[in-house]
Chain A
Amino acid sequence: MSNPVKSESPDPAFDLRRFFHDLATPLSGASLHLERASRLAARGEDPEEALATARRELHRAFELFEQGRAELLKP
């Protein structure tokens, strides 16, 4: 059965698995630093720096996501 949407799919070179792999790196960083912030806060220490790192990593993930999205939507 033919699938017109698939046949028109944008860039055959776009590697979804690679994209997930790249995205997993900043998501790992965000997750580890959020957890670290929570441990610091529980011990009464300042979680600010850990939260800032988590935010940076989430921003990086979002930028990567936007790049991937642009690739996927390419005509």
Chain B
Amino acid sequence: MRVLVVEDDVAIRRGLESALRDLGATPKAVGTAGEAARVLEEFDPQVLIVDLNLPDGDGLEVFRAAREVKPDRDGIVLTGQASLDSAVEALRAGVSDYLLKPLRPAQLEVVFQRLSARRSLESEVDTLRAELQETGKLGELIGKSPAMVKVFEAIRRVAVSNAPVLVTGQSGTGKEVVARTIHRLSRRASAPFVAFNCAAISPTLIESELFGHERGSFTGADKRRIGYFEEANGGSLLLDEITEMGPELQVKLLRVLEAKTLRRVGGVQDLRVDVRLISATNRDPLDAIKENKLREDLYYRLNVFPIALPPLAERREDIAVLAEHFRKQIEDQERSGVQAWDPAALRNLEAYPWPGNVRELRNVVHRAHVMTEGDTILPGVLEELLPDVPRPAAATSSRGTPTTRTSPSSTAKRTRKR
């Protein structure tokens, strides 16, 4: 990061220059507003650190002029107690932070790191936005269909907030990928993302896995263990298959969400946690409530911002794009020279009902890639992999059940029920 220091005191100037270099920045230091104006274009700083009182002018004016040319430039002002009011004015003018004199190197480090983290996050968000506009991609999510464009928009909106998100969708639609993308686009991106599948752990162990336990709290607890909530502190926690969590634990989860504190199993102390919760389920949550699999009060806590992922059969226009994306991804890993799709093969993919959704499509592409001997994936390879591609005569699924089981109309019905 290029940082221009504008400070008339030579010792501070040189000290800042050296400290910034050690923090990984590329600094340049000048002593006057005039010099700053002269080097601005050539050095093209991303950040300016300016003293408010310069011998030939106002440091804030230097920052304003620099920002007029490039509005994404950040500023940090240097100020003493006597000009604290001016520092407040500077913050209003758009500077990101201020450093109070006498300067402490630790203070500089904190302010600089905070700014770097924010800038790198903003740059990632910009990259993702550009990617979305150009290629129909948002992180690892791919699709140009109206249904996916709506999902992308919802993700972008919710990522900047701290609201709990409930992601619903059939198995294989990409619920965890959505959760990761929300985390990656959020202010929490530099903190951990932890994913936990409530159905994968025995009910007796879930509590200790989620909230941790103290040493000796139960047989086998020979040392203290930090739970997933604490592990995700400052970041995001995905609770997948939330409806598989037992009713007693749902009460405890509700309490944690309300109080923002938790108690480890066998612990006596409440610990404050700051976690953004994203939960996911492949069931209809309202059905789960009726069947007493999900507490209604917890549902309302979790479902502040719902995102419903469409089944792949409801966004057939994305199938070819996804297939090509997976082919490229697999070819990058395996380097076996499979370069393209025969158009008829893509049509076969588009005709298949995809009960296993995007996950199944990826697996099929992988198998087709492995089975292809030339440089093009031909329809013949897919006919072996997708024996039940709907054709005028026979239409049964690979599992021997009628394909109408997951036809677009039946899945649409299920979605409407939500």
**Chain A contact residues, CB within 8 Å of chain B:** 17-18, 20-21, 23-33, 35-36, 39, 50, 53, 56-57
Contact = CB atoms under 8 A, between A and B. Distances in A.
A27 B15 contact: no
The 4 residue pairs across chains A and B that have the minimum distance between CB atoms: A32-B15, A29-B11, A24-B101, A27-B102
Contact of B12 (A17, A20, A21, A29): A29
A35 B11 CA distance: 13
Nearest to A57: B11
A35 B19 CA distance: 8
A56 B11 CA distance: 9
Contacts of B82: 17-18, 20-21
Contacts of B14: 33, 53
Contacts of A28: 9, 11-12, 15, 101-103
Contacts of B81: 17, 20-21, 24
Contact of B19 (A21, A25, A32): A32
Nearest to A29: B11
Contacts, number: 65
A24 B9 CA distance: 11
A33 B313 CA distance: 65
A25 B22 contact: no
A24 B102 contact: yes
Contacts of B9: 25, 28-29
B329 interface: no
B44 to A, nearest CB: 25
A25 B12 contact: yes
A36 B19 CA distance: 7
Interface of A is mostly: helix
Given A29-B9, A39-B22, A21 B101 contact: yes
Given A32-B16, A32-B105, A36-B19, A26 B83 contact: no
Interface in B46-81: 80-81
B113 interface: no
Contact of B15 (A17, A21, A24, A29): A29
A29 B101 CA distance: 10
B18 interface: yes
Nearest to A33: B15
Nearest to B105: A35
Contacts of A35: 15, 19, 105
21 contacts: A17-B82, A18-B82, A21-B80, A21-B81, A24-B80, A28-B12, A28-B102, A28-B103, A29-B9, A29-B11, A29-B12, A30-B11, A31-B102, A31-B103, A32-B19, A32-B103, A32-B105, A33-B14, A33-B15, A39-B18, A39-B22
Given A25-B9, A36-B18, A56-B11, A31 B104 contact: yes
A53 B10 CA distance: 10
Contacts of B102: 23-24, 27-28, 31
B52 to A, nearest CB: 11
A36 B17 CA distance: 10
Interface in B1-32: 9, 11-12, 14-16, 18-19, 22
A10 B258 CA distance: 59
B11 A27 contact: no
Contacts of B101: 21, 24-25, 27-28
A36 to B, nearest CB: 5
Nearest to B109: A35
A19 B102 CA distance: 12
Contacts of A29: 9, 11-12, 15
Nearest to B99: A28
A29 to B, nearest CB: 3
